[in-house]
Amino acid sequence: MANVEWHAEHVLVTLTGISRDDADVVFDVLHRCYRSDEAYAGLPQHPLEGHPVVWTSTFEVTPTHPEPEPTALTAPVTADLQGCPCQVEQMREVLARAFAIEDRGRVPGDQERELELRLVSR
């Protein structure tokens, strides 16, 4: 998809400490629901062993989207969502339909919210 310019309805998603396969699983769920910049797509398939890995992409969160199916992961995934509070909560609900989630922390704000989630297979 084309580059997505930053707007209030965008949510930045950051996944840490996981395999490329699990990053693909999470981002595939989100790509079925929202347009994105696909920033992570050009990253190496097998990152260097022992180095921290961060996968990131920005999604345009809209009120209407397809419903995701429950999806399997090989290991738990830590996902940080950052953006407008309404869109962050909307994306959290979408992820909760695809994965079992645990809220790990919130940073509230009037214009922006940050949310940390732990995603596991249902």
pTM of the model: 0.83
User: pLDDT tens digit string along 74-96?
Assistant: 999 999 999 999 999 999 999 99
Q: Which of 115, 118, 106, 56 is nearest to 80 (CA)?
A: 115
Q: What is the pLDDT of residue 2?
A: 42
Q: Which of 119, 122, 63, 62 is nearest to 95 (CA)?
A: 119
Measure CA 45 to chain center: 18
- The span from the CA of 63 to the CA of 16, in Å, is 27
* SS3 label, residue 77: strand
User: pLDDT tens digit string along 28-46?
Assistant: 999 999 998 876 665 556 6
User: pLDDT tens digit string along 40-67?
Assistant: 665 556 666 666 778 889 999 988 888 8
Q: What is the pLDDT of residue 81?
A: 97
Q: What is the pLDDT of residue 41?
A: 61
> Domain residues of the chain, as ranges?
10-120
- The span from the CA of 23 to the CA of 108, in Å, is 26
Q: Are 113 and 82 in contact (CB under 8 A)?
A: yes
Q: Mean pLDDT score of the chain, rounded to an integer?
A: 84
